[in-house]
Amino acid sequence: MKVIDMKNIGSASSHAPHEWAAINWRLVQRNVRAMQSRLAKASQDGNWRKVKALQRWLSHSFSAKALAVKRVTENQGKRTAGVDRELWDTPQQKFAAIARLKKQRYRPLPLRRVYIPKPNGKLRPLGIPTMRDRAMQALHLLGLDPVLETMSDPNSYGFRKNRSTADAMSQIFLQTCRKVSAQWILDADIEGFFDNINHDWMIDNIRMDKSILKKWLKAGVVDREQLMATTTGTPQGGIISPALANWTLNGLETELVAHLEATCGVLKTRKLKVGVVRYADDFIITGASKEVLETIVKPWVEGFLAVRGLRLSEAKTKIVHIDEGFDFLGWNFRKYSEKLLIKPSKKNVQAFYEKLRKVIGDNLGAKQENLIRLLNPMLRGWAQYHSPVVAKQAYSRMESLLFWRLMRWARRRHPMKNADWIRRRYWRTVEGRNWVFAADINAKDGGKGVVELYSLANTPIERHRKVKGAYQPYDPQWEMYGETLRQERMLKSMSYRKQWARLYLDQSGLCALCGYEMDIETGWHDHHIEYRVAGGSDVLGNRVLLHPNCHAQVHSLGLKVVKPVPV
């Protein structure tokens, strides 16, 4: 087996790599991270000339270009082509793409318009850039994101590193849970947010290469073979679109508080109990009274949005009392006898059940084990999303609905059999639990095994630990906090696979090949050091976690991976 020293490939002392497989990704990540830390420091100091110089330096570096290509060729959209129908599938295409990421004579192609269904039955338009345009966006995002993180509102949680919907939920809980907390909520909705952002405002205010940004905004869209100009908005689907959207709404919290303190004074502002919690373009604002939200806060928000070419939706924006409750990010927030309870919203539960029903209906002739493998990731993901809130009742209700849906599935397959035969055929008792939807499978070692449906009712309810509002992922002072937070959340996402969690801890959250951090965004693969076809076992001592790309390199180049020593 060939052994390659990954520490020296592509280092500063050696020649630049000549092929994709020879790139030292650990060095690439370190170079980009160091530049991003400098960008964050310059942004904090308000040294915008230095920010501009560092962004230009980063966008011209080999490391940033390689990382940008790596991102667009390994994410979920890697097999979705733009209007040029071009994909970067092979290592040769990926390596050649690095040299194509140049500003000189760069002209983005129009976006390919596709539509995806929304929960309300309508269609959401997405704009799909070409691979080259996606890579260019990823490249410039590396320089924009550290600046954006420095300037972001403390309670903005959408599309930011180590922040999630659960953080937004926890902040709303903190702002509304006490008897003396704000009782009124402005539940806001922006009308056609991504379609209506003012281009001139973005070009004047977003701190990145203006000429590149203008080209992206004016690239146009191909919809049903018709080329249409884009005069406003930023298309959903581009890699940089969430960052542009966040930048557009930055200041909604800090500028509102500053406005209130300037007009009402600091002490009175505190009594108004105004607080903003935002996730992307969805946000709520708390207040001590309905009058405060109607006469002071809402007019200011409308003016803030108008400058950016946006406005609130009259139909969907409303002011409600906490006893009446409101829905946000799939949860319902409501006080019952002065006690705040957060539950899965009825709309979210119904939408998820419809999703399950469709999957079961589309697989009437599938094997039981295949149906279970289709349903388990859906059930596990939904259960984990709601695990920080009061969800036991929703879990039990969903399990009951799912049971009868699966019973109909089984009866349709065996219309001549009675209920007792069907129960024995598809349900069994497992570890003291009755009526477990499970199937026998042939294990890889020649033995027998059982695959069972994920149990929603057995999902533990655990309170979420909220990220600190001031957390800056590119500031070295926050490095230890960010590392601890990232590991906690990764271990929680691996909780149903305790062996993965053990491997992740033993490797300190680092890939066993390149030595760089693994997280939910990068993903991971379970690799056997001694291949199973060569007699390798499934014991933990013979397994490591690798980045998906590193895993592919190990098998394509025959690299040898050494078991890391736990720190």
Domain termination site, one of 452, 486, 514? 452
- Is residue 178 included in any domain, yes or no? yes
Where residue 533 sits, what CATH number does that domain have? Answer: 1.10.30.50
Q: Residue 158: which CATH number?
A: 3.30.70.270
> Residues of 404-442 as b/e, b for ≥16 C-beta within 10 angstroms?
eebbebbeeeeeeeeeeeeeeebbbeeeeeeebbbbebe
pLDDT confidence of residue 15: 57
Residue 213 counted as domain residue: no
Q: What is the pLDDT of residue 31?
A: 92
Three-class SS of 257-311: HHHHHHHHCHHHHHHHCCEEEEECCEEEEEECCHHHHHHHHHHHHHHHHHHCCCC
49, 161: one domain: no
- Pair 337, 363 in one domain: no
Q: Is there a single domain that holds both residue 241 and residue 338?
A: yes
Radius of gyration of the chain (CA): 26
Nearest to 134 by CA among 59, 240, 229, 233: 240
Q: Is 470 within the bounds of a domain?
A: no
Domain shared by 408 and 501, yes or no: no
* Range of the structural domain that residue 84 is part of: 20-151
Residues 81 and 146 in one domain: yes
Alpha-carbon gap, residue 138 to 135, rounded angstroms: 5
Domain stops at, among 343, 361, 384: 343
Regarding whether 313 and 168 lie in a shared domain, the answer is yes
Per-residue pLDDT at 116: 81
**Same-domain check for residues 191 and 298:** yes
Q: Are residues 165 and 147 in the same domain?
A: no
319 bridge partner residues = 186
Pairing of strands 221-223, 111-117: parallel
- Rounded Cα distance, 66 and 99, in Å: 9
Residue 543 is predicted with a pLDDT of 87
Of the candidates 539, 537, 517, 529, the residue with the CA atom closest to the CA atom of residue 559: 529
**Phi-psi category of 528—alpha, beta or left, where left has phi over 0 and alpha has psi -120 to 50?**
beta
Q: How do the pLDDT tens digits run along the chain, 567 residues long?
A: 333 333 333 334 345 688 888 888 888 988 999 999 999 999 999 999 999 999 999 999 999 999 999 999 988 888 888 899 999 989 899 999 999 999 998 999 999 988 887 766 677 788 899 999 999 999 999 999 999 999 999 999 999 988 999 999 999 999 999 999 999 999 999 998 988 999 999 999 999 999 999 999 999 988 888 888 888 888 777 899 999 999 999 999 999 999 999 999 999 999 999 999 999 999 999 999 999 999 999 999 999 999 999 999 999 999 999 999 999 999 999 999 999 999 999 999 999 999 999 999 999 999 999 999 999 999 999 999 999 999 999 999 999 999 999 999 999 999 999 999 999 999 998 887 889 999 988 655 444 678 899 999 989 999 999 999 999 999 989 988 887 888 788 777 776 677 788 888 888 888 888 888 887 777 788 888 887 656 667 778 888 898 887 888 787 777 888 888 765
Q: Which residue, 151, 184, 207, sits at the end of a domain?
A: 151
382 and 440, same domain (yes or no): yes
Q: Is 265 a member of any domain? A: yes
Please name the residues in contact with 541: beta carbons below 8 A apart, sequence gap of 6 or more. Answer: 563
Q: What is the pTM of this model?
A: 0.85
Q: What is the 3-state secondary structure (H, E, C) of 333-365?
A: EEEECCEEEEEECHHHHHHHHHHHHHHHHHCCC
Residue 284 and residue 372 in one domain? no
Residues 85 and 169 occupy one common structural domain: no
Asked if residue 466 is part of any domain, the answer here is no
The reported pLDDT for the residue numbered 77 is: 81
Cα–Cα distance measured from residue 284 to residue 319, given in angstroms and rounded to the nearest whole number: 10
Could you tell me if residue 211 is inside a domain?
Answer: no
Residue 461 domain flag: no
Give, to the nearest 10 degrees, the angle between helix 368-386 and helix 392-413. 170
Same domain, 180 and 259: yes
Using DSSP's 3-state secondary structure scheme, residue 388 falls into coil
Question: Looking at residue 77, what DSSP letter applies?
Answer: G
Q: Does some domain include residue 266? A: yes
Number of structural domains the chain divides into: 4
